[in-house]
């Protein structure tokens, strides 16, 4: 079964890395792919009237910890290490049920705000993967190496099981999660490198998030974190480096040369006072695939990628005192670059692109007045997740506001109550 | 972003330089202004001649520019120096270690603005006590080279400050009401080791001179560089 999105007022898409704005077009979707953009196709497709809508590629939240909605607003006012230690106290008592509920809450929030795919790092990734699949969202995730909490042998076993269970999934992509160089030892890092080669899996790792981390690495290893990982063979096109708030120019060259991917989480960096505002312009100019993530709901505390795009631009401008990073760069990071990181041909609304897209309500005051020349500005600087009307992933409507809004809100409220029952004893 | 770091060899300019490097900036030069008189309004005076060892340890090219040290005239010297490094190194920004001194920060900003240079002062109005503790924690080792206020123990002069020395300094600052990071000119420092130093500096010889009741200076007479050892 496919869809014909009729009379879309505006369509934003990437063609050859340039943003194009199309007017008054139809989009045909079949078998999970976009098969036509521009003119109507007669036939078997179910028609959806898309007048009064803007269609954009799906948004990719390239770094989050979905089950941490459990800890939203739990401990807001601390720097990273103090904050992490507090999180770990609760996380030591997590159950599969709690992870299931809290990841479901995040997934509801994400689909209601236009996220079509996310990359996750947390315990019980199989639980999160099942919830994501049930809601129809794309997810890249896997067990997390963190030596100080869990034996690496156990994590490796989990990884192999996860791989055999989800390796052929159309929506779930297994990855190797590595918490950081300060929680994972050298032997484990070397083992992770070998596993990545053996299983052909990407690696996601937090790197150079705080001053403490980089100076500690320099003291212990004589080099900064990216240099250290590179010396262990862990900087490659399979690496996804998260944060990079404190990174040297020569480390940027290492990243670019290796074609590693990077993810910026501006809100979380600001909230945790890491002062981490990574060199987005330099990385993009070097051709590095820059993506955006909200980080977890305990350190953001929202999973709304519209907010994150705006924050990314504003933080760059505030830090570097220039306007070289524009709305377009944030939109690229959140859409087409997110899909380049994930794998499937997405982030575009053209023939052959995966049918992951979002319809925004043109009737929203936040999007008006709207014209070709300001539509992107309105989307990045003014819109928010509540302007989302329909979300399609892999050719399937996973969220239709007119159909799902009340049901999902009620479900979120009930989950919230159950999560409060769990966290009460830690308050 | 190509920048030049305004460098006195003290803890603040050294820390600001590290900030710039870890921001992905390309720090193409150190600019050191050497005042001809000790009471310069703008620039660090004690032991400025030894900064060449720090530049060597950092592996960054250093430009040393003579300045009169006379208020207003030294601003003209600063303008000339900025202009020279801008032309020579093609920089677009200056990094400074200014903490709280409005005179210093604003003068640098005004001159840089006239020349089309941006100024980055990463330590501006940061919590001074936390900053002082962070310095040690992050591997910055420095000696106290001058005192010009009541309340700082002269025994700290010429000594690589330990965590307990730093706590003593903080306590004294609270008691006597001076800035714990010594931003108001209450003291000067000289960095002997930092994360980006390829070698550490060892002071072989120096002497403490008392200038008046609360004013002391530590004059370095001889230093050398030594290989660093990693600390697991």
Interface of B with A (CB under 8 A): 1, 21-26, 118, 134, 137-139, 195-196, 228, 230-232
3-state SS assignment for residue A404: helix
CA end-to-end distance (rounded Å), chain A:
49
The pLDDT assigned to A40 comes to 66
The pLDDT assigned to A44 comes to 84
Is B232 within a domain?
no
Question: What's the rounded Cα separation, in Å, for the pair A79 and A82?
Answer: 6
Q: Is the domain of B203 the same as that of B166? A: yes
What is the overall mean pLDDT for chain A? 95
Q: Which of B60, B136, B195, B232 to mutate to test the interface with A (most CBs of A within 10 A)?
A: B195
Which residues 170-209 in chain A show a CB within 8 A of chain B? Answer: 208
Q: Nearest-5° angle of CA B34, CA B38, CA B43?
A: 45
Three-state SS string across B24-38, please? Answer: CCEEEEEEEEEECCC
Q: Is the domain of B220 the same as that of B144? A: yes
3-state SS assignment for residue A46: strand
CB distance B139–A321 less than 8 Å? no
* Between B69 and B144, residue with greater pLDDT: B144
Q: What CATH number is given to the structural domain containing B114? A: 3.40.50.620
CB distance B139–A219 less than 8 Å? yes
Q: For residue B126, is pLDDT > 60? A: yes
CB distance B195–A321 less than 8 Å? no
The pLDDT assigned to B179 comes to 84
Q: How confident is the model at residue B40 (pLDDT cuts 50, 70, 90)?
A: low
Q: Is the domain of B113 the same as that of B170? A: no
Q: For residue A276, is pLDDT > 70? A: no
Residues of A in Cβ contact (< 8 Å) with B22: 208, 211, 214, 224, 246-248
Helix axes A327-334, A305-320, angle to 10 degrees: 130
**B141: β partners:** B193
* Between A418 and B65, residue with greater pLDDT: A418
Extract the tokens encoding B85: 């490094």
Residues of B in Cβ contact (< 8 Å) with A220: 230-232
Using the CB atoms, write b or e for A285-320: b if 16+ within 10 Å: eeebbbbbbbbbbbbbbbbbbbbbbbbbbbbbeebb
Extract the tokens encoding B184: 């108001």
Q: Is the domain of B203 the same as that of B139? A: yes
Extract the tokens encoding B96: 């400074």
Interval A122-173: pLDDT, tens:
999 999 999 999 999 999 999 999 998 999 999 999 999 999 999 999 999 9
Is B115 within a domain?
yes
A176-178, strands of its sheet edge to edge? A144-145, A176-178, A203-207, A239-243, A261-264, A290-292
Q: Nearest-5° angle of CA A351, CA A352, CA A356?
A: 95
A310 cis-preceded (ω within 30 degrees of 0): no
Domains, chain A, ordered by start: 3-57+347-394 (2.30.40.10), 59-342 (3.20.20.140)
What mean pLDDT is predicted for residues B114-138?
88
Q: How confident is the model at residue A336 (pLDDT cuts 50, 70, 90)?
A: very high
Q: For residue B103, is pLDDT > 80? A: no
CA end-to-end distance (rounded Å), chain B:
33
By CB atoms closer than 10 A (0-12, 13-18, 19+), residue A281 is middle
State which residues form the domain around B108: 2-120
Which residues have C-beta within 8 Å of that of residue A197, sequence separation ≥ 6?
none
A172-174, strands of its sheet edge to edge? A59-64, A115-120, A138-141, A172-174
Half-sphere exposure of A308 (CA within 13 A, CB side): 36
Q: Is the domain of B60 the same as that of B20? A: yes
Cβ(A59)–Cβ(A119) below 8 Å = no
Cβ(A106)–Cβ(A94) below 8 Å = no
Q: For residue B42, is pLDDT > 60? A: no
Q: Which of A78, A208, A222 to mutate to test the interface with B (most CBs of B within 10 A)?
A: A222
Q: Is the domain of B27 the same as that of B68? A: yes
Q: How confident is the model at residue A272 (pLDDT cuts 50, 70, 90)?
A: very high
Helix axes A96-112, A125-135, angle to 10 degrees: 40
Q: Is the domain of B139 the same as that of B66? A: no
Q: Is the domain of B132 the same as that of B113? A: no
Domain end position, chosen among B71, B93, B120: B120
Q: Is the domain of B69 the same as that of B174? A: no
Half-sphere exposure of A355 (CA within 13 A, CB side): 24
* Candidate from B22, B196, B228 with C-beta closest to A246: B22
Identify the closest residue of chain B to A213 by CA–CA distance.
B138
Q: For residue A326, is pLDDT > 90? A: yes
Q: Determine if the pTM surpasses 0.95.
A: no
Is B185 within a domain?
yes
- Chain B closest CA to A224's CA: distance in Å? 9
ipTM over 0.85: no
Interval A171-201: pLDDT, tens:
999 999 999 999 999 999 999 999 999 999 9
Q: What CATH number is given to the structural domain containing B141? A: 3.90.1490.10
The pLDDT assigned to B102 comes to 64
Q: For residue B41, is pLDDT > 60? A: no
Alpha helices in A343-424 (DSSP H): 375-377, 401-423
What mean pLDDT is predicted for residues B176-192?
87
Is B78 within a domain?
yes
Q: For residue B99, is pLDDT > 90? A: no
The secondary element (H helix, E strand) that includes residue B21 is helix B11-21
Extract the tokens encoding B188: 């000067």
Q: Is the domain of B110 the same as that of B136? A: no
Q: Which of A218, A285, A319 to mutate to test the interface with B (most CBs of B within 10 A)?
A: A218
Cα–Cα distance list, A27 to A32, A60, B69 (Å) = 13, 21, 71
For chains A and B, count residue pairs whose Cβ atoms are closer than 8 Å.
47
Residues of A in Cβ contact (< 8 Å) with B228: 222
**What is the number of other CB atoms lying within 10 angstroms of the CB of residue A19?**
16
Q: Is the domain of B148 the same as that of B176? A: yes
Interval B58-79: pLDDT, tens:
999 999 988 876 777 778 888 9
Cβ(A166)–Cβ(A174) below 8 Å = yes
The pLDDT assigned to B101 comes to 65
Number of domains in chain B: 2
What mean pLDDT is predicted for residues A10-26?
95
Interval A302-320: pLDDT, tens:
999 999 999 999 999 988 7
Q: How confident is the model at residue B177 (pLDDT cuts 50, 70, 90)?
A: confident
A156 has a chain B CB within 8 A of its CB: no
* Between A318 and A408, residue with greater pLDDT: A408
Residues of A in Cβ contact (< 8 Å) with B25: 249
Domain end position, chosen among B66, B87, B120: B120
Interval A204-255: pLDDT, tens:
999 999 888 988 998 899 999 999 999 999 999 999 999 999 998 889 999 9
Question: What's the rounded Cα separation, in Å, for the pair A324 and A253?
Answer: 20
Q: For residue A277, is pLDDT > 80? A: no
User: Do the bridges between strand B215-227 and strand B199-212 make them parallel or antiparallel, or are there none, so unpaired?
Assistant: antiparallel
Cβ(A255)–Cβ(A276) below 8 Å = no
Q: Is the domain of B7 the same as that of B108? A: yes
Domain end position, chosen among B120, B141, B170: B120
Q: How confident is the model at residue B214 (pLDDT cuts 50, 70, 90)?
A: confident
- Chain A closest CA to B221's CA: distance in Å? 29
Report percent pLDDT > 70 for chain A.
99
């Amino acid at each position: 079964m496919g869809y014909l999105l009729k009379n879309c007022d505006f369509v934003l898409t990437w063609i050859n890395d340039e943003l194009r704005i199309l007017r008054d077009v139809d989009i045909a979707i079949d078998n999970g792919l976009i098969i036509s953009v521009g003119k109507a196709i007669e036939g078997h497709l179910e028609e959806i009237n898309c007048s009064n809508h803007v269609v954009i590629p799906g948004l990719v939240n390239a770094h989050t910890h979905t089950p941490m909605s459990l800890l939203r607003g739990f401990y807001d006012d601390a720097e990273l290490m103090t904050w992490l230690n507090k999180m770990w106290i609760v996380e030591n008592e997590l159950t599969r049920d709690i992870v299931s509920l809290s990841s479901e809450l995040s997934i509801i929030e994400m689909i209601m705000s236009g996220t079509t795919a996310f990359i996750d790092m947390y315990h019980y990734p199989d639980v999160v993967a099942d919830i994501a699949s049930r809601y129809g969202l794309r997810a890249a995730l896997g067990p997390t190496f963190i030596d100080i909490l869990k034996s690496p042998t156990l994590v490796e076993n989990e990884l192999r099981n996860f791989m055999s269970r989800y390796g052929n999934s159309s929506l779930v992509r297994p990855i190797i999660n590595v918490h950081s160089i300060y929680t994972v030892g050298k032997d484990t890092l070397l083992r992770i490198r070998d596993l990545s080669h053996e299983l052909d899996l990407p690696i996601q790792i937090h790197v150079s998030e705080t001053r403490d981390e980089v100076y500690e690495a320099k003291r212990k290893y004589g080099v900064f974190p990216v240099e250290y990982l590179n010396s262990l063979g862990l900087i490659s096109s399979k690496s996804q480096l998260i944060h990079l708030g404190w990174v040297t120019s020569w480390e940027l060259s290492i990243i670019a040369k290796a074609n590693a991917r990077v993810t910026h989480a501006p809100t979380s960096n600001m909230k945790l006072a890491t002062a981490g505002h990574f060199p987005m312009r330099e990385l993009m100019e070097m051709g590095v695939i820059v993506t955006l993530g909200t980080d977890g709901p305990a350190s953001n505390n929202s999973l709304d990628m519209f907010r994150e795009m705006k924050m990314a631009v504003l933080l760059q401008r505030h830090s570097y005192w220039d306007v070289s990073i524009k709305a377009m760069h944030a939109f690229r990071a959140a859409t087409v670059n997110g899909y380049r990181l994930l794998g499937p041909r997405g982030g575009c609304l053209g023939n052959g692109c995966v049918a992951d897209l979002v319809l925004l309500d043109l009737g929203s005051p936040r999007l008006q007045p709207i014209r070709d020349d300001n539509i992107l500005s309105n989307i990045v600087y003014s819109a928010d997740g509540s302007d989302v009307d329909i979300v399609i992933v892999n050719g399937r409507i996973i969220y239709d506001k007119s159909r799902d809004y009340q049901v999902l809100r009620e479900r979120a409220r009930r989950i919230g109550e159950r999560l409060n029952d769990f966290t009460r004893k830690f308050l | 972003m190509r920048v030049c770091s305004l460098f006195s060899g003290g803890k603040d300019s050294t820390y600001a330089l590290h900030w710039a490097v870890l921001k992905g900036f390309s720090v193409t030069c150190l600019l050191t202004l050497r005042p001809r008189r000790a009471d310069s309004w703008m620039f660090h005076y004690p032991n400025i001649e030894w900064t060449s060892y720090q530049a060597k340890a950092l592996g960054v090219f250093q430009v040393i520019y003579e300045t009169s040290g006379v208020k207003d005239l030294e601003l003209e010297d600063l303008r000339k120096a900025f202009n020279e490094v801008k032309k020579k190194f093609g920089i677009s920004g200056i990094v400074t270690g200014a903490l709280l001194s409005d005179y210093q920060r604003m003068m640098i900003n005004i001159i840089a603005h006239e020349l089309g240079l941006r100024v980055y002062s990463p330590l501006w109005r940061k919590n001074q006590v936390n900053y002082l503790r962070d310095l040690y924690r992050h591997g910055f080792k420095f000696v106290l080279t001058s005192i010009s206020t009541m309340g700082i123990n002269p025994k700290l002069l010429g000594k690589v400050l330990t965590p307990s020395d730093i706590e003593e300094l903080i306590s004294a600052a609270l008691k006597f009401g001076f800035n714990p990071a010594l931003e108001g000119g209450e003291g000067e420092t000289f960095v002997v080791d930092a994360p980006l130093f390829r070698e550490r500096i060892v002071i072989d010889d120096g002497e403490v001179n008392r200038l008046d009741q609360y004013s002391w200076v530590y004059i370095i007479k001889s230093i050398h560089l030594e290989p660093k050892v990693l600390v697991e």
